[in-house]
Structure 1
Amino acid sequence: MDNHKSLFGIGLRREHYPYLIEKPNTDIDWFEVISENYMNTEGRPMSVLESIRIDYPIACHSVGMSLGSSKKIDSNYLFNLKRLIKRVDPFLVSDHLAWNDWNGTRLHELIPIPFHEESLEIIANNIDYVQNELQRKIAIENISAYFSYTSSTMNEAEFLKSLTEKTGCLILLDINNIYVNAKNFQFDPLDFIKTIPKNSIAQIHLAGFTDMGNFLFDTHAEPVHPEVWNLLEKSLDFLPKNIPMMIEWDENVPEFHTLQEELNKLRMITKSGNKNETKRTTEFVL
């Protein structure tokens, strides 16, 4: 987004196709699409996306690069992704700090990686390969995880920082995932955000988790929780100004106006937070 004015977006979901193809006036500045939903289709999803692209900027968010795999990135996958990029000209292309390719079988979960020098070298090489193939920087998202590796020698934030230094890649910072992991693994979420180089952060995700009683589960099935709004507000000093932010809602997808209301809450928190630093909430609930 060239003018830094179109800052607040949502994920494009099929439940909202019928509403959006009527081209209503919305409070949405841009849409993010899951790349794999549009890479190999000439059907309705692509026709809807092309119609929406006329009026809105698009970000392409992938789940299938498997950047954490020790094997080379699938060249056929990148070929199809390049075709989509050429077609919709996204302002950002992103994927996750994870792996999900098991001997050619695509798993339906994003699996965490160990945070040590060997992993760093493998993933940096994969990112370099992807960025060279796509001829653009990509953004890497921190994921929610439910186990960790005893072999790790650094934390996730330190690992991401090292990746930006090695590859020049960008960071898609998911505030909800940081909070979920901070709660589940007991660390300070603000320390995580402070560790990430400010000038590498290209986009922000927010979403709703589900409290399972003894752990938080990143479901994207609820509104953003107050604790996550609070973390965002406290993070504003450590985030770039005029950064694209969005709401993810993937399960129990509500009506479009509900998402607009959630996005307008994000607008208000961000704008009031940037103007009134001294009024920010000072306590977290962990």
Structure 2
Amino acid sequence: MSGLSPDKMVGVGLRSPHIHHFLSERPDIGWLEIHSENFFTPHSPARQQLRDIANHYPISCHGIGMSLGSADTLDKQHLSQLKQLVDDIDPIAVSDHLSWSSVNGQYFNDLLPLPYTEEALAHFCHKVDRVQEVLGRQLLVENPSSYLSFNHSTIPEWEFLRAVQQRTGCGLLLDLNNIYVSSFNHRFDCQTYLDAIDPQTVKEIHLAGFTVKQFEQGEIWVDTHSRPVSEPVWQLYRQWVRGHFSALAGVPTLIEWDLDIPDLDVLLGEADKAQQIIAEEAKDGITTT
């Protein structure tokens, strides 16, 4: 449970263009998400600003650098810095991705897909277990967006993700935009994916925008986090909230926007849409019971 009040369930990313707004103006928003790695240095100005902001807003730490799916061993320094940050800020959640991004200690600027095999599953679960042991708390694992798949995968992504949760006790960060993007790129049904997710294991939800790319070989959808949430993703969100409202209590929702970042009022407007959906579904639930 996040401890958020029902009317403060939606947050936005704390990104550099808006830090001064949250330091000085304290806009009305339920919580803020950070990219953990941006605040690893304990005595940096960024870390001090984060401490100041955390006095007024709940914070969620979202990582992009643990490379949990890589064959590399866990980076002990990275994990130690994450633990120091978590102990300092006491966030409402700590998360990373069902992906990999390193080979022999060399990192790529991408969150790359795993082959969904029993071997990869055992390896990924071992990494998650170790992270949770070091942090002393539950890690949330986010479902990825992807643009290719491995021919030798033997497990559908949704079953792989569910198995990770069941074996490790981790929570899930359910990114509805990622499901929608990947459903087009890989030609699966969003509902098949969502039906496989135990709503009780979902501890955070992400909503974002995507970009359509045209190539000679055809069309692909890319999870760019550079646009407003699309109407089909709003529909998936409304469907999820309506179908799992009792399990949703205390589960925060994030409006994720990382490129072509607009004025803060635009982000707050997107957050208001999500909060309104929660309010409408809560009202309908009371009316029909």
TM-score (norm 1): 0.93
> 2:281 matched to 1:273?
yes
For residue 228 of structure 1, what is the aligned residue in structure 2?
Answer: 233
The Cα shift of 1:71 comes to 2.6
What is the letter of the counterpart of residue 232 of structure 2?
E
User: Which SS does the other structure have where 2:24 is aligned?
Assistant: coil
CA deviation profile, 1:185-214 (whole Å, cap 9, x unmatched)? 111112211201111100000000012241
In structure 1, distance between residues paired with 2:234 and 2:201: 22
In structure 1, distance between residues paired with 2:41 and 2:4: 31
The Cα shift of 1:47 comes to 2.0
> 2:252 matched to 1:244?
yes
1:66–1:100 contact (8 Å) kept in structure 2: yes
2:221 to 179, 198, 216: 216
CA deviation profile, 1:229-285 (whole Å, cap 9, x unmatched)? 0111122214622210010100110111111111001111232234447xxxxxxxx
In structure 1, distance between residues paired with 2:45 and 2:262: 21
Gapped runs of 5+ residues in structure 2?
none
User: Which SS does the other structure have where 1:215 is aligned?
Assistant: strand
User: Which SS does the other structure have where 1:21 is aligned?
Assistant: helix
1:190–1:231 contact (8 Å) kept in structure 2: no
What is the letter of the counterpart of residue 267 of structure 1?
Q
1:11 to 13, 19, 31: 13
For residue 155 of structure 1, what is the aligned residue in structure 2?
Answer: 156
Q: Give the aligned CA root-mean-square deviation in angstroms.
A: 1.4
Q: Identity percentage over the alignment?
A: 37
1:30–1:58 contact (8 Å) kept in structure 2: yes
Q: How many residues align?
A: 276
For residue 265 of structure 2, what is the aligned residue in structure 1?
Answer: 257
The Cα shift of 1:38 comes to 0.3
What is the letter of the counterpart of residue 64 of structure 1?
G
Instruction: Give the 3 Å change call, closer, same or farther, for CA 3–35 of structure 1 in structure 2.
Output: closer
In structure 2, distance between residues paired with 1:52 and 1:137: 23
For residue 280 of structure 1, what is the aligned residue in structure 2?
Answer: none
For residue 117 of structure 1, what is the aligned residue in structure 2?
Answer: 118
User: Which SS does the other structure have where 1:190 is aligned?
Assistant: helix
The Cα shift of 1:142 comes to 0.7
For residue 283 of structure 1, what is the aligned residue in structure 2?
Answer: none
Gapped runs of 5+ residues in structure 1?
278-286
What is the letter of the counterpart of residue 171 of structure 1?
L
CA deviation profile, 1:47-98 (whole Å, cap 9, x unmatched)? 2211110001111000111110123211111111111011100111000000
